[in-house]
Amino acid sequence: MKKSGSVKLSRGLAPSLLLLGIVAVLLLLLLFIFGPWELPGFGQLSQRQIDQAISAQVATPPAIPPDDSDKDGFSDGIEDYIRTDEDDNCADDANDAAWPPDFNNDKQVNTADVDMFRPYLGQKVKGVKNRRFDLDANKVINVSDILTLSPYMNKGCPFQFMSNPRFEGSNVIFRWAPVTEVTVLISAVDLTKSGQLDCNLSQSYQSSAFASTIGIDQQTYGWYGPEGGHEYCVALLSRDTNSFLVSNAVRFTVPDTRPDLVITSLRTNKTAYSIGETVVVSITIQNQSSSAVTSPFMTIYSMSPFSSCSPEGVQGKFVSASLAAGASQTFTGSFIIPSAGIVPTIQAMVDAYCQIAESNESNNRRSIEYVISTPISSPSPPPTTVSPSPTL
């Protein structure tokens, strides 16, 4: 009987494999217990990776935590641990450690602060030398500290925490905390008109929809007249020559509260007519928005093309004093088909003189075609042949 084969390891190879297995198990154990950021070589992030971590987190708006005496976004416990002033939210000079993410105390968080942070990535906190960079106070300086810093990137102090705006009719009400300690600017950019910009960069606000000065001890601002349906970014900015944001940026879309008038039905009493016959026209209009029309407007119809806002030569006009949200109105008119030379089409338009500001100005028209019958003439009788009389 053939014996089953077996694999024998050489005496030199077996101890090596055993040692490699022990090292692998120890490495996994260390990773499990301490995390990768405490092991040599695992804490080194490239600038690209740091930038990605910052940009991924920047969409999360920062907030004032409980027990934050200076309202700078970091609790008193965190500030006591990392040795920043829990009663001061912005540095007075280069030696005043006040705002936790501002490592070099220049009143801004930017790449200079990230460069100071980088050498300590992956380190455990030992003493006070590197504790300043442990922003989440978990005794390890790692990517979670980058994520803690990221909402304040490219921003300055004193920092204001802006909440989502409130809408009151045509007004947008902005609110932030704490109250302003210095004079700042509030500015918004229309993303619908300008395209998608980075709302966290001050350059994006150079072509702003509005900009206004906010004085000291202010916490709210009302803006009248934004365009309904448009998306905006708003932020507070410093008034320095080299301006930077001093709040989180807030994106919002303004509800469109304007009415929207449409023609839902355009009909004639028949589909075919003879010249000289009367055409009866029925037009139904509707306000298909949630906002009422409170001022007069006009609906017209015509046998020939006409211009919006200044129509001429129309066959019928109907005036509406107002129209509630969702409501409809029906009008009836008539005209006689002339003898010749017309195109058998009826064109109608609601708000023909452009008296109402609507959310959609391109859906006010409607048209319908009809047939003009040509009368069938009777054939002419054949000519009568007269035979000549015989000559006598």
Express each pLDDT in 209-227 by its tens digit. 999 999 999 999 999 988 8
More confident: 176 or 36: 176
Asked if the domains 158-253 and 261-373 are classified in one and the same CATH topology, the answer is: yes
* Average confidence (pLDDT) over 328-333: 97
pLDDT digits (tens, 9 = 90+) for 229-274: 899 999 999 987 668 999 999 999 998 888 999 999 999 999 999 9
Domain boundaries of the chain, sorted by first residue: 36-153, 158-253, 261-373
Task: Report which residue type is found at 207.
Answer: S
pLDDT of res. 370 = 92
In the chain, pLDDT over 70 holds for what percent of residues? 79
Burial class (CB in 10 A: 0-12, 13-18, 19+), 226: buried
| Count of Cβ atoms closer than 10 Å to residue 333 Cβ | 19
Superfamily assignment of 158-253 in CATH? Answer: Immunoglobulins (2.60.40.10)
Best CA proximity match to 233, nearest among 193, 191, 185: 191
Where is average pLDDT lowest: 153-157, 268-272, 309-313?
Answer: 309-313
More confident residue, 383 or 87: 87
pLDDT for 11 beyond 60: no
Q: How confident is the model at residue 139 (pLDDT cuts 50, 70, 90)?
A: very high
**pLDDT for the residue 304:** 87
pLDDT band at 207 (very low <50, low <70, confident <90, very high): confident
Would you state the pLDDT for residue 343? 85
Per-residue confidence (pLDDT) for residue 26, from 0 to 100? 54
Give φ, ψ of 77 to 5 degrees. -65, -45
**CB neighbours of 154 closer than 8 A, spacing ≥ 6?**
108, 109, 110, 200, 201, 202, 244, 245
349-372 per-position pLDDT tens digit: 999 999 999 989 999 999 999 998
Q: How many CB atoms lie within 10 A of CB 148?
A: 20
pLDDT band at 313 (very low <50, low <70, confident <90, very high): confident
Q: 31-45, 156-170, 196-210: lowest mean pLDDT where?
A: 31-45
Average pLDDT over residues 308-334: 94
What percent of the chain shows pLDDT beyond 90? 62
pLDDT tens per residue, range 234-245: 999 998 766 899
Q: Which of 49-53, 60-64, 80-84, 337-341 has the lowest mean pLDDT?
A: 49-53
CA dihedral 128, 132, 136, 142 (to 10 degrees): -90
pLDDT at 387 over 80: no
Joined together, the tokens standing for residue 142 give 């790692």
- For the chain, list the strands marked E by DSSP: 108-109, 155-162, 166-168, 171-177, 184-190, 210-214, 220-224, 231-237, 245-247, 250-253, 261-268, 272-274, 278-287, 297-302, 316-320, 328-336, 345-350, 365-369, 371-373
Place of tokens 């416990």: 77
Query: Per-residue pLDDT tens for 21-53?
Result: 665 655 554 444 344 444 444 444 555 555 555
- How far apart (Å, rounded) are the C-alpha atoms in residues 283 and 90? 66
Q: Where are the alpha helices (DSSP H) in 62-190?
A: 76-82, 111-117, 143-149
Asked whether residue 1 carries a pLDDT value surpassing 50, the answer given is no
CATH superfamily for domain 261-373? Immunoglobulins (2.60.40.10)
| Chain mean pLDDT for the chain | 85
